[in-house]
Structures are given as structure tokens and as C-alpha cells.
């Protein structure tokens, strides 16, 4: 089993996972985004509406500076955004993430003590979900379109990816630490020490990094539904990639083992 085998497997599994995750995102995530956009446009219209004695209509206000998230002429309609646009994004993100998991799984094969290729692949996918998706989401959760100032998009994005980098590096360090401790401690103790080291790093760094709070008067229930749907979408994509990769690697490893056994049998005759 070569790196190419893992990479191709990851790309194919990621493609399927992206298509299935699109269905989940469209079903659970898009309704809350539509609600958030409706709130944003209502607030924008109320803020831009002229005084009653100016003699202007609401339509005049919209022409002067209103916006409707791509529904205007020359833009991308909301219907396209949540169908073909979302599908395209998932079809791109799925294989990319699957390929990265495949490469990481290929690197981990044979280096995680006595774990089989399938077991090490499952572990890589689980640790990847924690480090890349879950922990960064816990510090800087996603926000709907109506939340946050447009002037702070760059800084908020930088903070998120900065903490993402810290989480990934800390996870790699924790895995190396656990592997080093396996020769000195029992397996459970080494794993516990590595997990504690990872948590210590991300908790301390997360506490030191700035907190983003630009919610304003946005409805708490809509925010909760949006963030819950976002986390479900992330978990679905990672779970499908992890389960699919593990199953495919197990099957390929079994075939490779049988082929090797046949060659050895033929050579001994």
C-alpha cells in the first residue's frame, strides 16, 4: 500500500462524502442562513429608510443603498448560492480534505505501534476532526451573514486560521509525545499524557487569544440553529471520510495481504 493508494482512496472517498454532505448542509444549514439573511435585510432596510416627512419611499431607500445577497442584477441569486454554489464547494472541499487525510494516513501507517492500516487511518481521521474542525470551532464558531461587521472580516478570519494552526501543530506534537512515551509508560498512560498536553496547549492559547463578540441583538435561537447545523455539517463530512477511508483501506490491505501470501506460497513450491 503506497502513498498514491492512500491519496487516490482519499480523493474518491472525499468526493462521495462531499456530495452526501451537500445534502445535509442544504437540509439543515440553509434554512437558518435564509433566516439570518432575512433578519439582516430587515435591519438594513429599517436603518436606511428615510424619515416619513422626506417624501421618499422604501423602494427609494433600496435603490440608494439596499442589498439582497446576490439577488440584484449581475449577482448570484440566493437560490444558486444554496444549490449549485454549495454543491460546488462541497465537491471541491470533500476531495481536498479526503486527500489530506489519505496522505496523513499513509504517513501514519506502521508508525503507530501495532495498529493496522485501517485502525491508524481511523485514528488519523478522528484526530484530524478534533484538531481541524472541533477545537477551532469551539473557540471561533461560525456566524451567519447578519452577524459581525464587514470591517472585521479580515481580522476574524486571521484569528480563526491562527488558532487552527496552533491546534494542528499541538495535535502533531501530542502524537509524537505519545509515541515517545509508549516506550516508558503503559499505553493508557501515554495516551492520557499526550491528550492532556494537547488540551493544555489549546486551552492556554485559546484563553490568550482575543474573543470575538459581535452578536449585537441577533436572535439567540437563530444563532444556535446556525451553529448547530454548521457543526453537524462538519462532523458529517469528517465522519463520512473517516468511515469510508477506514473501510477502503481495510479492504485494500486485506487484498494486498492475500496477494502477498499467494506470492510467498508460489515461491515456496
The string of pLDDT tens digits covering residues 161-219 is 999 999 999 999 999 998 888 878 888 898 999 999 999 999 999 999 998 776 766 77
- What pLDDT shows up at residue 51? 46
Q: Cell numbers at residue 57, please?
A: 419611499
Dist. CA 42–CA 123, nearest whole Å:
46
Average pLDDT over residues 223-245: 91
Dist. CA 100–CA 96, nearest whole Å:
6
- C-beta separation of 236 from 24 below 8 A: yes
Residue 59 has pLDDT above 90, yes or no: no
- C-beta separation of 241 from 13 below 8 A: yes
- What pLDDT shows up at residue 114? 77
58 or 120, which is more confident: 120
Runs of H (alpha helix) within the chain: 3-24, 30-48, 58-65, 78-80, 86-108, 117-128, 135-139, 153-181, 187-208, 220-268
State the DSSP code for 133: I
For 101-144, the pLDDT digits (tens) are: 999 999 888 777 778 888 899 999 999 999 999 999 999 988 77
Dist. CA 196–CA 22, nearest whole Å:
35
Q: Cell numbers at residue 256, please?
A: 494486498
- What pLDDT shows up at residue 55? 52
- C-beta separation of 111 from 175 below 8 A: no
Amino acid at each position: 500500500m503506497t502513498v498514491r493508494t492512500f491519496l487516490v482512496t482519499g480523493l474518491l472517498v472525499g468526493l462521495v462524502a462531499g456530495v452526501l454532505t451537500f445534502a445535509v448542509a442544504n437540509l439543515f444549514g440553509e434554512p437558518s442562513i435564509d433566516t439570518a439573511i432575512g433578519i439582516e435585510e430587515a435591519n438594513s432596510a429599517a436603518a436606511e429608510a428615510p424619515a416619513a416627512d422626506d417624501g421618499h419611499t422604501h423602494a427609494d431607500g433600496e435603490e440608494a443603498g439596499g442589498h439582497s445577497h446576490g439577488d440584484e442584477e449581475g449577482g448570484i441569486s440566493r437560490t444558486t448560492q444554496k444549490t449549485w454554489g454549495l454543491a460546488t464547494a462541497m465537491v471541491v472541499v470533500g476531495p481536498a480534505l479526503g486527500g489530506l487525510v489519505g496522505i496523513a494516513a499513509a504517513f501514519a501507517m506502521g508508525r503507530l505501534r501495532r495498529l493496522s492500516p485501517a485502525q491508524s487511518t481511523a485514528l488519523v481521521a478522528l484526530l484530524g476532526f478534533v484538531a481541524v474542525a472541533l477545537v477551532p470551532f469551539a473557540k471561533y464558531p461560525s456566524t451567519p451573514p447578519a452577524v459581525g461587521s464587514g470591517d472585521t472580516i479580515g481580522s476574524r478570519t486571521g484569528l480563526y486560521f491562527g488558532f487552527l494552526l496552533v491546534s494542528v501543530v499541538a495535535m502533531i506534537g501530542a502524537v509524537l509525545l505519545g509515541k515517545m512515551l509508549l516506550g516508558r509508560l503503559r499505553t493508557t498512560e501515554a495516551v492520557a499524557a499526550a491528550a492532556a498536553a494537547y488540551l493544555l496547549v489549546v486551552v492556554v492559547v485559546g484563553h490568550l487569544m482575543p474573543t470575538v463578540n459581535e452578536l449585537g441583538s441577533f436572535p439567540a435561537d437563530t444563532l444556535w440553529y446556525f451553529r448547530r447545523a454548521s457543526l453537524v455539517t462538519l462532523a458529517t463530512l469528517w465522519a463520512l471520510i473517516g468511515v469510508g477511508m477506514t473501510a477502503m483501506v481495510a479492504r485494500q490491505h486485506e487484498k494486498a495481504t492475500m496477494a502477498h501470501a499467494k506470492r510467498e506460497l508460489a515461491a515456496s513450491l
